[in-house]
Amino acid sequence: MDFKFTEEQLMIQQAARDFAQTELLPGVIERDEHSKFPTEQVKKLGELGFLGMMVDPKYGGSGLDSVSYVLAMEEIAKVDASAAVVMSVNNSLVCAGLEKYASEEQKQKYLTPLASGQVIGAFCLSEPEAGSDATSQKTTAIDMGDHYLLNGTKNWITNGSTADYYIVIAQTDVEKKHKGINAFIVEKGWAGFEIGAKEQKMGIRGSDTHSLMFTDVKVPKENRIGEDGFGFAFAMNVLNGGRIGIASQALGIAQGAYELALKYAKERKAFGTEIINHQAVAFKLADMATQITAARMLCFKAAAEKDAGQDISISGAMAKLFASKTAMDTTIEAVQIHGGNGYVREYHVERMMRDAKITQIYEGTSEIQKIVISRGIAK
């Protein structure tokens, strides 16, 4: 494994760091407080090429590798985990899925605007009765000849109201179970497509999460992705890569909280000395630094394997499992190190603690990651 980054990778990291400091940091507390989507900031992320990072430039992307993606995601999430999830969904669930599996016509029509950041996308797998148990899809798409008729409800959809294009997973043949599932590209505004109320969340409050309702939505046949019955395999393969994105988001949250805690511990005095001189505090920082370093290695390992074209189902799940626990552990201790100040908004760490929790839930809960890893290693 090569531990040296290329000049290009370091440049991307620096660009993301600069963007996070100048564009995301100033309004991050306010956006969290008012559940405000970072509209302007997401637009600029698109202009800088951060919304289609790994997509071929011929489809409007930046043509970068997954290691660069991890580096950029960490920097964005370090400051604003909400902006980071918008970036992660668009890059690794929507664009990556379309680039790998969509037809040339679909790429021209949908991938190019998505990768160049003109619009953003959403990935719609979860339902009220199908979250972890993703094969239990209740949304149906009935084959009507030249189109499908889509009916059902999707839950918890990130970019739910801000997206223009939605990848929707639906059951087309119940008898065939997960082999009778398909993925479709659905456009906002199509008749019968309704967006539910915005969820009021504990964390990542700047990102918009909605349920989506489909009533007899006509989806042209050419909007199905891949061969008939490919939808579940599509979703699983896309999620393998998506988990690297969320692992990097978790890594960024942890790193952000750790840096604030370290700074605070060096400045805050108690019992006549800086609190970092109390071993109980210093050891917390030692544990944070160690866990974060290990999480970062797992993220880069999964990203490097993805770039090498290897199966990343296990390494992506391991990275997400470990990095999300690191984010939770680190942010809890960062609040503790800040004492009372940790409990108020202006010090950032309480937001980071609330933001961290979701990384153990979405794109497969930690329990689901253990299922993926244990089944993988048992093979």
Stretch that binds ligand CAA, among 105-113, 230-238, 325-333, 342-350 (CB under 6 A): 230-238
Q: Is 237 in the site for ligand CAA (CB under 6 A)?
A: yes
**Residue 135 interacts with which of ligand FAD, ligand CAA, none, CB < 5 to 8 Å by class:** ligand CAA
Q: Which is nearest to 20 in space by CA: 45, 39, 43? A: 45
Q: Which is nearest to 186 in space by CA: 210, 165, 161? A: 165
Q: Scanning the structure block, which residue is given the tokens 């890569």?
A: 241
Of 155 and 331, nearer to ligand CAA (C-beta) is 155
- Cβ-contact 359, 207 below 8 angstroms: no
Which residues, 6 or more positions from 336, have their beta carbon under 8 angstroms from its beta carbon? 284, 342
Chain center to CA of 24: 17
Cβ 211 to ligand FAD shortest distance, Å:
10
- Taking CB under 6 A as the criterion, the residue among 12, 358, 372, 373 binding ligand FAD is 358
Restricted to residues 86-115, the positions that interact with ligand CAA (CB under 6 A) are 89
Q: Which residues pair with 127 in a beta bridge?
A: 130
| Binding track over 108-137 against ligand FAD, x by CB under 6 A | --------------xxxxx----xxx----
Restricted to residues 292-331, the positions that interact with ligand FAD (CB under 6 A) are none
Q: Using CB positions, name the residue nearest to ligand FAD.
A: 131
Q: Is 156 in the site for ligand FAD (CB under 6 A)?
A: yes
Q: What is the DSSP letter of 130?
A: B
Stretch that binds ligand FAD, among 22-30, 142-150, 156-164, 246-254 (CB under 6 A): 156-164
Q: Is 240 in the site for ligand CAA (CB under 6 A)?
A: yes
- Taking CB under 6 A as the criterion, the residue among 21, 339, 367, 375 binding ligand FAD is 367
Alpha carbon distance 302, 114 (integer Å): 24
Alpha carbon distance 45, 374 (integer Å): 37
Cβ 365 to ligand FAD shortest distance, Å:
3
- Taking CB under 6 A as the criterion, the residue among 158, 162, 324, 330 binding ligand FAD is 158
- Cβ-contact 95, 241 below 8 angstroms: no
* Residue type at 117 in one-letter notation: G
**Residue 116 interacts with which of ligand FAD, ligand CAA, none, CB < 5 to 8 Å by class:** none
Alpha carbon distance 233, 237 (integer Å): 6
Which residue spans within the chain are E strands per DSSP?
121-124, 140-143, 147-158, 165-171, 181-187, 193-198, 209-220, 224-225, 269-270, 273-274
Q: Is 132 in the site for ligand CAA (CB under 6 A)?
A: yes
Restricted to residues 206-235, the positions that interact with ligand FAD (CB under 6 A) are 209
- Cβ-contact 250, 320 below 8 angstroms: yes
Q: Which residues pair with 185 in a beta bridge?
A: 167
Of 13 and 155, nearer to ligand FAD (C-beta) is 155
Of 163 and 281, nearer to ligand CAA (C-beta) is 163
**Residue 79 interacts with which of ligand CAA, ligand FAD, none, CB < 5 to 8 Å by class:** none
Of 162 and 240, nearer to ligand CAA (C-beta) is 240
Alpha carbon distance 84, 79 (integer Å): 9
| Binding track over 157-186 against ligand CAA, x by CB under 6 A | -x-------------------x--------
**Of 333, 350, 363, 367, which one is the catalytic site residue?**
363
Mark whether 363 is an active-site residue: yes
Which residues, 6 or more positions from 126, have their beta carbon under 8 angstroms from its beta carbon? 134, 154, 155, 156, 157
User: Where does this chain bind ligand FAD (CB under 6 A)?
Assistant: 89, 122-126, 131-133, 156-158, 201, 204, 209, 358, 361-365, 367-368
Q: Which residues are catalytic?
A: 363
